[in-house]
Amino acid sequence: MLVALTLFGLLTFDYKDLVLSEAIRKTGDTLGTMLIEPHAKHFTFGEALGQVTITIGLAFLTTLFGAVIALFLALLTARNLSRPAVSLAIKSVVAFIRAVPTVLWVLIFAVAAGLGSVAAVIGMTFHSISYLVKAYSESIEELEDGVIEALRASGAGWWQIVFQAVLPSSISYIISWTFVRFEINFAVAVAMGAAAGAGGIGFDMFMASNFYFDIREIGFITYMILAFAILLELLARWIKRKLAVNA
């Protein structure tokens, strides 16, 4: 139904002086120019590499802060470790935080901290915590209740249960979800470089598209982002294989 409505809208929309077929052709020409003829005119390859490093650093910092805080909150959220009232309260709060897009949280914190890397780090960390709390707590809840009950029956305390049963059995899932969020934060950090003035390669893309109007430079930046995204994915797979072998 959505496909049918979309096609109906495209066919009946009032394009005024715009010729749809010509617009599609020009869009194809623009994409061809961007992807086939990339070049860097306003910065060198080394400078672009440094800007990508800034973007990765922003993603890494927000993921690190978010993972540390989210792990503690996830232990209080998991139903097999926490009280139902506490679990429900935390899940409700993080569900509300997840419902608000990251860019809005960044802009909200920018009111106090001003546009820049500080607001981006706080806003991205805020959303990362809500995402990882849900992922971590669900991984922890998959642990068999019999293991926890056996430890409790033997007199183990809450922290002993966490370190002897919960973390060893859930660590591979926790690391996997952390890398997923790191990849998401990398993409968000690119957008925040333009939207929130956080710097990095996203700001260069904003300048190339809105200030220099250089399609070829946008293509060069796109390839840089794509290359680093592939490297991050390969790194994540390598770590997962290492964990599987060790397990």
For range 158-169, the mean pLDDT = 79
pLDDT given at position 14: 77
pLDDT tens-digit series, residues 79-136: 887 888 888 898 899 999 888 888 888 888 877 777 777 888 888 898 899 999 999 9
Q: Which residues contact 176 (CB under 8 A, 6 or more apart)?
A: 236, 240
Q: How do the domains of the chain map onto residue ranges? A: 43-246
| Listed residue (131, 74, 77) closest to 123, CA to CA | 131
Contact present, 173 and 240 (Cβ < 8 Å)? no
Rounded Cα–Cα distance for residues 238 and 20 (Å): 46
Which of the given ranges, 4-8, 20-24, 185-189, has the highest pLDDT on average?
4-8
Report the CATH superfamily, name and number, of domain 43-246. Answer: MetI-like (1.10.3720.10)
pLDDT given at position 243: 66
Contact present, 151 and 163 (Cβ < 8 Å)? no
pLDDT given at position 133: 92
DSSP 68-114: HHHHHHHHHH-TTTS-HHHHHHHHHHHHHHHHS-HHHHHHHHHHHH-
SS3 (DSSP) at 123: helix
pLDDT tens-digit series, residues 190-236: 888 776 666 778 878 878 877 778 888 888 888 888 888 888 888 87
Q: Which residues contact 125 (CB under 8 A, 6 or more apart)?
A: 61, 62, 65, 66, 69
More confident residue, 245 or 7: 7
Does the pLDDT value for residue 30 go beyond 80?
Answer: yes
Does the pLDDT value for residue 23 go beyond 60?
Answer: yes
pLDDT given at position 4: 94
Average pLDDT of the chain, as a whole number: 83
pLDDT given at position 247: 53
Does the pLDDT value for residue 67 go beyond 90?
Answer: yes
Does the pLDDT value for residue 245 go beyond 70?
Answer: no
| Listed residue (186, 185, 141) closest to 165, CA to CA | 141
pLDDT given at position 84: 85
